Copies of this chain bind each other. A is one copy, B any other.
């Protein structure tokens, strides 16, 4: 294991060999824990969302690919409800407003490109209220 995550800066371009046991856990709110692996173009986030956790309506220019590992998330996008269950992937294009609610205790892997500066810099107030 060559490294630990240091998600304080963006635009890194170096080899990283990690597992989630070596990445700091940030409790973003009482229902939402997050870990980040941050590359130059790719950010991989492991999310633990407890049942009832609501991610309010928001959008970002970063493309998002959400993958539920266990549990289930209910997304609402353009008036459509999408239930994302274990093993499923949802690609959310840039700038598309979306909400998500954990309808079960959920572990998800979200991938973004480019990396989310607001998550790295902790300026993501929409998650902290």
Q: Which residues of A contact B (CB under 8 A)?
A: 1-2, 13-20, 37, 39-42, 44, 62-63, 65, 67, 77, 82, 84, 87-94, 96, 111-114
- CB-defined A-B contacts under 8 Å, sample of 19: A14-B91, A14-B93, A15-B90, A15-B93, A17-B84, A17-B88, A17-B90, A18-B90, A19-B88, A39-B91, A40-B93, A41-B41, A41-B62, A42-B113, A44-B65, A44-B67, A44-B89, A111-B111, A113-B114
Copies of this protein in the complex? 2
**Interface SS, A side:** strand
Contact B42 A63 (CB under 8 A): yes
Question: In this complex, what residue of B is CB-closest to A88?
Answer: B19
Within 8 Å by CB of A82, from B2, B93, B96, lies B2
With contacts A13-B94, A16-B89 known, what are 9 further pairs, Cβ within 8 A?
A1-B88, A2-B82, A15-B90, A17-B88, A17-B90, A18-B90, A42-B112, A44-B65, A113-B114
